[in-house]
Copies of this chain bind each other. A is one copy, B any other.
């Protein structure tokens, strides 16, 4: 169960409300690492507060509650992060599609690969532009930091290069 750890990690860096946390999951975090909607976040925050992993530090307008990680929460987070990597759970629909391409006719597969190459290339360019134009946007309340941006960039580039390799391979076979 990774959601509590994800929330703990976010709240250890800076206090946020459930609503703000939801926004983060819609950005880089949800795109590369772990997705979650507000319908799982709010109940989870309540459960974690009961367990003493997080606490409400202030209440704002419109009934908003700002949470922060407690010492117990930080300890739990550290334990999780420092523990040896077990066989991780992976679920990535995009990658699944790529793996299934060999089930298509080569001509169809080529079309899809081409689209993948284009899409990821565009995404990488976009990310590079954002990072250079406004580096602060990445560290703001919704962005997730330089680490994530760099990871995403390298990820896109790797996929684009892989797609290019696959296209070349398919064309050589034809």
- Interface residues in chain A, defined as those with a beta carbon under 8 Å from any beta carbon in chain B: 2, 5-6, 8-10, 12-13, 28-35, 74, 77-78, 80-82, 85, 88-104, 108, 111-112, 115-116, 119, 144-148, 150-151, 154-155, 157-158, 161-162, 165-166, 169
Contact = CB atoms under 8 A, between A and B. Distances in A.
A156 to B, nearest CB: 10
B166 A30 contact: no
B98 A6 contact: no
A20 to B, nearest CB: 16
A145 B102 contact: yes
A75 to B, nearest CB: 12
Contact of A81 (B12, B101, B119): B101
A162 B150 contact: yes
Nearest to A163: B151
A98 to B, nearest CB: 7
Nearest to A26: B87
A114 to B, nearest CB: 12
Contact of A90 (B74, B81, B91): B91
Contacts of A101: 81, 147
A9 B92 contact: no
A33 B158 contact: no
